[in-house]
Amino acid sequence: MRLFPSLNLFSEVFQQSTDQTMRVFMKQRWISILRITAAIAAGVWFPLRVVFFDALVPADFAVEGVVFTIAMVSLFRNTSDTSRSEMWLSVLESVPLFLLFYPALGSSAELLAIPKILLLRHLFRIRDLLDSMDSLHPVLARILPLSAIVPIVMHTVACGWIFLGSGTAGTDPEPWVEYVRALYWTVATLATVGYGDISATTPLQMLYASITMVGGVAFFGYVLSNVAAMLARMDAAKEQHSALLDRVETFMRFNRVPPEMRGQIRDYFRYVWESRRGYDDSFVLSSLPQKLRSDLHLYLNSGLIGKVPIFRDASPEMLHDVLAELKTLIVVPEEIIFHSGEPAESMYFIHRGSVGVYSAQGEQLAILDEGSFFGETALITANVRTATLRAHTYCDLYVLHRSALETVISRYPEFRTHIEKTAQDRLRMRVA
């Protein structure tokens, strides 16, 4: 499974489109990217500035400017579907109040930056953004947002810790050392490691640590359990196959199935897994509307269609109709598909594997390979099988039941002609 998003993620972001709906969609995506950028910039910068800076620094102008510009661009490019309350929120979170009032209020203007917290809600757009990128595995689209949100939460908690005095770690001439220590304390607390080399001293710090533990531990636990669940789902097919195998093994142990039979049963499940990866076609197909289902069916069976002569030059309509009626069947080596003399109920197409044709006396008449079909003779000209068919290898067969065959033949007489001709050729051969 290809886990890491390749470069076409970037090409997707920058792709052009002439389609009107698509262009609106692309504009929306760009606005999302801009707002997420603004949210990250504000989320990173403001806690830092509160803790480490007294005077105005260039970064203040940069961040406030970026946030404001992005908000204005988003509002004016996106007016159609913006509610009135959403517009006011946008204004509230983006107006650079801190800058405007700093000359008057000094450092205490930092309180006016509190509405910037609202910007963080744009981080939830990350999931929608990634969901809309087709080249990304859908599970990743749900894990990546966490890798943006978790660091910002940690950063904020760490800055709060510095603000309250850093506990036993105290202040440090080097701000970055102070920051690393606070981050270390934060991670040790959220991950419930709690070394205790740095700990709270004042009652306020103790309350802060307590809240961080309760809230943060819950948050961390939630994130971890989610990620685990998602990773588990990435290989759901393999997991389901393993569960089936487990049940089969326990069953065989309890019933003391002899080793030889166990081997055959295991081989069978190995074959099924290798040839189909355990993906149950029918589940996916049944959740699609008819046209897509039939298109997909046609695509999936293009191999079979290329191999079976009567399908090769059939019209698409007929193919649709025939394929819709086919059922798959796996037979194991030496399995007898039908006995000579049995009543005939269906005909078969070989998708993979080879099958031997035997007379009632057990004499081998022919070997049929991929792309052959058999069993049509009895279905059309007579009522009982005229030969015994036995699988030589594992075979993937497609079965067409009598009633389905009759429906198809009634609609497409050319199908009947082709099959009857083959049937007569074979009958003559066997009689000869």
Considering beta carbons, is residue 111 or 218 the nearer one to its own copies? 218
Q: Do residues 338 and 375 make contact, with C-beta atoms less than 8 angstroms apart?
A: yes
The answer to whether 274 and 236 are in contact (CB under 8 A) is: no
**Residue with token string 């008449």:** 365
CB closer to its own copies out of 75 and 298: 298
Of the candidate spans 30-38, 52-60, 248-256, 381-389, the one that interacts with its own copies by CB under 8 A turns out to be 248-256
Q: Which is nearer to its own copies, 10 or 195 (CB)?
A: 195
Q: HSE, CB side, 13 Å, CA atoms: give it for residue 1.
A: 14
Site membership for its own copies, residue 236 (CB under 8 A): yes
Stretch that binds its own copies, among 105-113, 114-122, 289-297, 422-430 (CB under 8 A): 289-297
First to last CA, the chain: 55
Q: Which is nearer to its own copies, 144 or 217 (CB)?
A: 217
- Rounded to a whole number of angstroms, the minimum distance from the CB of residue 211 to its own copies is 9
Least distance in angstroms from the C-beta of 94 to its own copies = 24
Beta strand residue intervals within 307-432, DSSP E: 327-331, 336-338, 346-352, 355-358, 364-368, 373-374, 388-391, 395-401
Asked whether position 242 contacts its own copies by CB under 8 A, the answer is: yes
Residues in a beta bridge with 359: none
**281 binds its own copies per the rule CB under 8 A:** yes
Shortest approach of its own copies to residue 60 CB, angstroms?
26
Q: Is 413 in the site for its own copies (CB under 8 A)?
A: no
* Cβ proximity to its own copies, 66 vs 217, nearer residue: 217
Residues 10, 61, 88, 279: which binds its own copies (CB under 8 A)?
279
Question: Which among 295, 297, 243, 307 is positioned nearest to 269, based on CA atoms?
Answer: 243
Cβ proximity to its own copies, 15 vs 69, nearer residue: 15
**Residues in contact with its own copies, total (CB under 8 A)?**
89
- Site residues for its own copies, 29-68, by CB under 8 A, read none
Contact 271, 330 (CB under 8 A): yes
Strand order across the 364-368 sheet = 336-338, 388-391, 355-358, 364-368
Q: Which residue has the tokens 């801190």?
A: 98
The residues, ordered by sequence, that sit 6+ positions from 293 with a Cβ below 8 Å of its Cβ are: 285, 286
In one letter, which amino acid is 234? Answer: M
Residue 243, interface with its own copies (CB under 8 A)?
A: yes
* Shortest Å, Cβ 239 to its own copies: 10
Q: How far is the CB of 301 from its own copies (least distance, A)?
A: 11
User: Is residue 262 a contact residue for its own copies (CB under 8 A)?
Assistant: yes
Q: CB of 205: closest distance to its own copies in angstroms?
A: 9
Q: For residue 198, what are its two tokens?
A: 């740095």
- CA torsion through residues 305, 306, 307, 310, sign: positive
Is residue 176 within the footprint of its own copies (CB under 8 A)? yes
Structure tokens at 257: 């199935």
Least gap, CB of 46 to its own copies (angstroms) = 22
Amino acid present at 365: L
Q: How far apart are CA 92 and CA 81, in angstroms?
A: 19
- Judged by CB, which is closer to its own copies: 107, or 135? 135
User: What character string, x for contact with its own copies (CB under 8 A) and - otherwise, covers 188-217?
Assistant: xx-xxxxxxx-xx--x--xx-xx--xx--x
Cβ proximity of 77 and 62 under 8 Å: no
Closest CB to its own copies among residues 115, 175:
175
Nearer to its own copies, 305 or 380 (CB): 305
**Helix (H, G, I), strand (E, B), or coil: what is residue 111?**
helix
Question: Does 261 contact its own copies by CB under 8 A?
Answer: yes
Q: Does 9 bind its own copies (CB under 8 A)?
A: no
**Position 161: which residue type?**
W
The yes or no reply on residue 287 touching its own copies (CB under 8 A) is yes
Of residues 91-150, those binding its own copies (CB under 8 A): 134, 137-139, 142
User: Which residues face 358 on adjacent strands?
Assistant: 364, 388
- The residue among 65 and 263 lying less far from its own copies, judged by its C-beta, is 263
Binding to its own copies (CB under 8 A) within 312-351 occurs at 329-332, 334-336
- Per rule CB under 8 A, is residue 292 in the interface with its own copies? yes
Closest CA to 240 of 183, 295, 286, 283: 283
Closest to its own copies by CB, 270 vs 312, is 270
Do the beta carbons of residue 279 and residue 296 sit within 8 Å?
Answer: no
Q: Does 24 bind its own copies (CB under 8 A)?
A: no
